[in-house]
Amino acid sequence: MVGLFSKEKAFCTVCKKELSHKHKPKKSWNVTGSLCGNCHVDLMKEHFEDDNDNKCVLCGATPGSFNLWKSKKEWGVQGWLCKPCFDQKEKQDDELKKFCCLCGAKVGFISYAPKKEWNLKGQVCKNCWNSRTKN
């Protein structure tokens, strides 16, 4: 039985099995009618793999759609990254947050974000912040 109140039996469009739960196909799949769970997953995998976004935007590797990572907003990278590129970007980001971008000193518990007009990437220590704001 498919619906709560309907006594009409429904069948999968692809494999013709009786449905216990209907799955609706996406328009881009060019399939009309309801799908069973197995056919829905198969079509989803097939069309997901055909997507051109399955490449790492930095190195161009194609590890598969399920092995790509979303980049962080502050990195300024548009698209997906493979695990090695993601780890490398994360390590660079951590280095920018741990050390002062002007003098290279280790940033303590309190760090300062540089002003936009300074055109600096990373964090600034207290001494560099004070010397920049006094001038």
Give the pTM: 0.49
Neighbours of 118 (CB within 10 A): 11
122: which residues sit within 8 A by CB, 6+ positions away?
A: 96, 97, 99, 100, 101, 114
Q: Is the pLDDT of residue 49 over 60?
A: no
3-state class (DSSP) for residue 40? helix
CB 95, CB 111: distance < 8 Å: no
The per-residue pLDDT for range 57-113, each reduced to its tens digit, is: 888 877 776 678 888 888 888 888 888 899 999 998 888 888 888 888 888 888 888
Task: Find the mean pLDDT for residues 7-26.
Answer: 86
Mean pLDDT, all residues of the chain: 82
